Amino acid sequence: MSAQIIDGKAFSASVRDKVATHVARLKDEHGLTPGLAVVLVGEDPASQVYVRNKGKQTIAVGMHSIEHKLAADTSEADLLALIDQLNQDPAIHGILVQLPLPDHLNEDLVINAIDPAKDVDGFHISNVGLLGTGQKPMVPCTPLGCLMMLRDHHGSLSGLDAVVIGRSNIVGKPMAQLLLGDSCTVTIAHSRTKDLADVVRRADIVVAAVGRAQMVPGDWIKPGATVIDVGINRISAPDKGEGKTRLVGDVDFASASAVAGAITPVPGGVGPMTIACLLANTVTACCRAHGLAEPEGLTA
């Protein structure tokens, strides 16, 4: 293996340290405590784990954390009323509605009911527009985490060829916008892209966010390229015993790490950065709400 491993666990710990330092300063100098509200509708087990982790990490950096757990059959009107109440609450600077929502709730309607200034997921249509026009958005957490790791590794990204594989609203599209903002030449590839292997081979930076286990092999990677693997896929692992599974990314780590200059592992790469960036966004939202300087290095 030749690639440098980009350690997302260590990097996310350094982001959380910066957040905690800034939270302490906001308390000491301004009497402010950033507050994050997480809303979970229903009992999806994976969502329950995410929400618990978010709550723990929010408290660990010294912020105010509240959770609203609503029944799976909560009406849209009741959910919108809760969002309105959180929008008005001066102790809450960030609101996150855990996705996916149950089928009877309109996700776009619910997300767009959040005050854009408190939309720490960066999913509100206003924040999407601000990001697309190079203004000051709340930036979606996973692409923000990828950008932080890329900037840390490369210093400047200016002029580099970047390929983003995947065109989701949550990762692919905002990732491409962020890379463009840092003056990369950006290609967005997806399931209909012709000659995907050749497109990827031209890239100095590859961000894989398609949700297909190990679909990017090492021989698609330009020697020395930086590979950011956003995928988290569970596959069967008979070598570990009957019925056992393991987590893998969208990139075939074994072959790609022999060619790449740097690569994020799965698990332990992009994954831990998402919650760290959620905390960073909550501090940013609190600073903006009070007209204070934003924390260095925690925004795009």
Catalytic sites, residue numbers: 54, 98, 121
Give the number of residues in contact with ligand GUN, rule: CB under 6 A. Answer: 7
Which span sits near ligand GUN by CB under 6 A: 81-89, 94-102, 143-151, 255-263?
Answer: 94-102
Q: Of residues 99, 117, 130, 180, which one binds ligand GUN by CB under 6 A?
A: 99
Half-sphere exposure of 116 (CA within 13 A, CB side): 12
Gap between the Cα atoms of 64 and 36, Å rounded:
6
The sign one gets for the Cα dihedral 54, 117, 131, 160 is negative
Residues counted in the chain: 300
- Dig out the tokens for 113 from the structure: 């009911």
If the CB atoms of residues 217 and 268 are measured against ligand GUN, the closer one turns out to be 268
- Collapse the DSSP code of 227 into the 3-class scheme (helix H, G, I; strand E, B; otherwise coil) and give the result: strand
If the CB atoms of residues 208 and 256 are measured against ligand GUN, the closer one turns out to be 208
- Collapse the DSSP code of 225 into the 3-class scheme (helix H, G, I; strand E, B; otherwise coil) and give the result: coil
Main-chain phi, psi angles of 91, to 5 degrees: -80, -10
If the CB atoms of residues 47 and 185 are measured against ligand GUN, the closer one turns out to be 47
Q: Is 96 in the site for ligand GUN (CB under 6 A)?
A: yes
Work out how close the CB of 197 gets to ligand GUN at its nearest, in angstroms, rounded to a whole number.
29
In eight-state DSSP terms, residue 120 is: T
Listed in sequence order, the DSSP H helices in 31-117 are: 45-60, 76-88, 107-111
For ligand GUN, which residue has the nearest CB? 99
If the CB atoms of residues 99 and 117 are measured against ligand GUN, the closer one turns out to be 99
Q: Of residues 98, 127, 177, 281, which one binds ligand GUN by CB under 6 A?
A: 98
Of all helices (H) and strands (E), which one includes residue 70? strand 64-70
Kindly write out the interface string for residues 109-148 of this chain, putting x where it contacts ligand GUN by CB under 6 A and - elsewhere.
Answer: ------------x-------------------x-------
Q: Of residues 19, 32, 97, 147, which one binds ligand GUN by CB under 6 A?
A: 97
Q: Which positions lie near ligand GUN, rule CB under 6 A?
A: 96-99, 121, 141, 274
